[in-house]
């Protein structure tokens, strides 16, 4: 952050390094106090989803222009979506003011990203593309981008896990995350994202690892109701069962596949199921309490999809 401040020079009025996971409103209010006090006229966000989320939260409240420099594969930089937490709940907003005006990708800034975070961040990006494939408002262009995004990340993650400073693999992963971010910003998300927002906001679970653990089970739930999406994922993953392929990929790269081990209490399964039916997202398969509960339960146990 200090190096960035030096690059910006005299235009750098203040530095705020308190960004937190799930963009807590309380943290945003701290940053907003600095914005008001110093009459700041623009925001530069450097880092992963938490830093970019804070930048977007400030822009949403002020209309200030943003320059964001992502250092992970979250894809948040490509969307007009903001998820904020307050009082144990995560609320999603969508507004043109939220989308950053300028995004700068520098692959060298991702080479020091630890392997475990690289893997789960990449799986998080894949989740955006998966849900874009079966979104109610998807289209052929987005479907093509989503398939390519999944293919690129699924190929890159094993390479960078083996050799974290592999620039070619990092480039491939960043390219894939950009594609998946476009998909996230262009379509409505479904049950997977609804559950991840619920789990993250309510139980303060780590964002990308939660996406990683839940994705195979949400996909398995929808698989029989999204045949075109499944065909594209079969090609992208070179596997007849995409849900199993994603589980095995993440697990083979050391990702934690159990929500229990990520810190979710067992009694939270029922609570999360109830919360999932408030402000329900469109989904290719009808949402039924027992089915949704099974998705959460299987992810809690870290069970490999059938």
Mean pLDDT of 61-66: 97
Cβ-proximal residues to 11 (8 Å cutoff; 6+ apart), any chain? none
pLDDT above 80 for 1? no
Do residue 275 and residue 137 come from a single domain? yes
pLDDT at site 201? 86
Domain end marker among 55, 83, 103: 103
Contact between 71 and 114 (Cβ < 8 Å): no
For the segment 212-265, what is each residue's pLDDT rounded down to a tens digit?
A: 999 999 999 999 999 999 999 999 999 999 999 999 999 999 999 999 999 999
Do residue 45 and residue 99 come from a single domain? yes
The percentage of residues in the chain with a pLDDT greater than 90, rounded to a whole number, is 87
Mean pLDDT of 29-54: 95
pLDDT at site 222? 98
pLDDT above 80 for 2? no
Q: What integer best gives the mean pLDDT of the chain?
A: 95
What is the rounded distance in angstroms from the CA atom of residue 190 to the CA atom of residue 175? 24
Q: Residue 109: inside a domain, yes or no?
A: no
| Domain, as residue range, for 91 | 2-103
Mean pLDDT of 103-113: 95
Q: Would you place residue 72 in the very low, low, confident or very high pLDDT band (cuts 50, 70, 90)?
A: very high
Indicate the range of 53-62, 111-120, 274-283 predicted with least confidence.
Answer: 274-283
Assign residue 166 the CATH number of its domain: 1.20.1090.10
Do residue 96 and residue 118 come from a single domain? no
Q: Residue 85: inside a domain, yes or no?
A: yes
**Strand partners of residue 46:** 69
Do residue 291 and residue 150 come from a single domain? yes
For the segment 178-222, what is each residue's pLDDT rounded down to a tens digit?
A: 999 999 999 999 999 999 989 988 999 999 999 999 999 999 999
Q: Would you place residue 278 in the very low, low, confident or very high pLDDT band (cuts 50, 70, 90)?
A: confident
pLDDT at site 219? 98
Q: How many domains does the chain have?
A: 2
Cβ-proximal residues to 98 (8 Å cutoff; 6+ apart), any chain? 56, 59, 60, 79, 80, 81, 82
Q: Would you place residue 8 in the very low, low, confident or very high pLDDT band (cuts 50, 70, 90)?
A: confident
Pairing of strands 66-70, 102-103: parallel
Q: Would you place residue 300 in the very low, low, confident or very high pLDDT band (cuts 50, 70, 90)?
A: very high
For the segment 159-184, what is each residue's pLDDT rounded down to a tens digit?
A: 999 999 999 999 999 999 999 999 99
Do residue 188 and residue 241 come from a single domain? yes
> In this structure, how many other beta carbons lie within 10 angstroms of the beta carbon of residue 204?
16
Do residue 273 and residue 236 come from a single domain? yes
pLDDT at site 246? 98
What is the rounded distance in angstroms from the CA atom of residue 172 to the CA atom of residue 14? 34
How are strands ordered across the β-sheet holding 102-103?
43-47, 66-70, 102-103
Do residue 90 and residue 146 come from a single domain? no
Q: Residue 98: inside a domain, yes or no?
A: yes
pLDDT at site 141? 98
Q: Residue 108: inside a domain, yes or no?
A: no
Do residue 250 and residue 203 come from a single domain? yes
Do residue 252 and residue 128 come from a single domain? yes
Do residue 118 and residue 98 come from a single domain? no
The tally of CA atoms less than 13 A away on the side-chain side of residue 42 is 11
pLDDT above 80 for 42? yes
pTM of the model: 0.91
CA 178 from chain centre, in angstroms, equals: 12
Assign residue 49 the CATH number of its domain: 3.40.50.1970
Q: Would you place residue 30 in the very low, low, confident or very high pLDDT band (cuts 50, 70, 90)?
A: very high
CA 152 from chain centre, in angstroms, equals: 16
């Amino acid at each position: 952050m200090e190096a960035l401040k030096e690059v910006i020079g005299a235009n750098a009025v203040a530095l705020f390094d308190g960004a937190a996971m799930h963009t807590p409103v309380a943290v945003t209010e701290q940053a907003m106090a600095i914005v008001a006090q110093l009459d700041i006229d623009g925001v530069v966000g450097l880092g992963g989803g938490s830093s970019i989320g804070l930048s977007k939260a400030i822009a949403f409240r002020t209309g200030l222009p943003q320059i964001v420099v992502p250092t992970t594969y979250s894809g948040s930089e490509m969307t007009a979506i903001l998820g904020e937490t307050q009082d144990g709940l995560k609320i999603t907003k969508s507004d043109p003011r939220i989308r950053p005006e300028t995004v700068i990708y520098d692959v060298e800034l991702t080479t020091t990203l630890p392997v475990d975070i690289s893997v789960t961040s990449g799986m998080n990006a894949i989740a955006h593309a998966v849900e874009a494939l079966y979104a109610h408002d998807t289209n052929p262009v987005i479907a093509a981008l989503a398939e390519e995004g999944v293919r690129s990340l699924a190929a890159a993650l094993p390479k960078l896990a083996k050799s974290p400073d592999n620039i070619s693999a990092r480039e491939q992963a960043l390219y894939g995350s950009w594609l998946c971010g476009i998909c996230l910003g262009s379509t409505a998300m479904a049950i997977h994202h609804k559950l991840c927002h619920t789990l993250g906001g309510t139980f303060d679970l780590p964002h990308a690892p939660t996406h990683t653990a839940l994705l195979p089970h949400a996909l398995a739930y929808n698989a029989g109701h999204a045949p075109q999406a499944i065909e594209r994922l079969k090609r992208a993953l070179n596997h007849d069962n995409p849900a199993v392929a994603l589980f095995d990929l993440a697990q083979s790269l050391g990702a934690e596949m159990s929500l229990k081990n990520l810190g979710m209490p067992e009694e939270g399964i029922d609570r999360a199921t109830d919360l999932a039916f408030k402000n329900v997202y469109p989904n290719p398969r009808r949402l039924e309490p027992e089915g949704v509960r099974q998705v959460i339960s299987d992810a809690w146990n870290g069970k490999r999809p059938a």
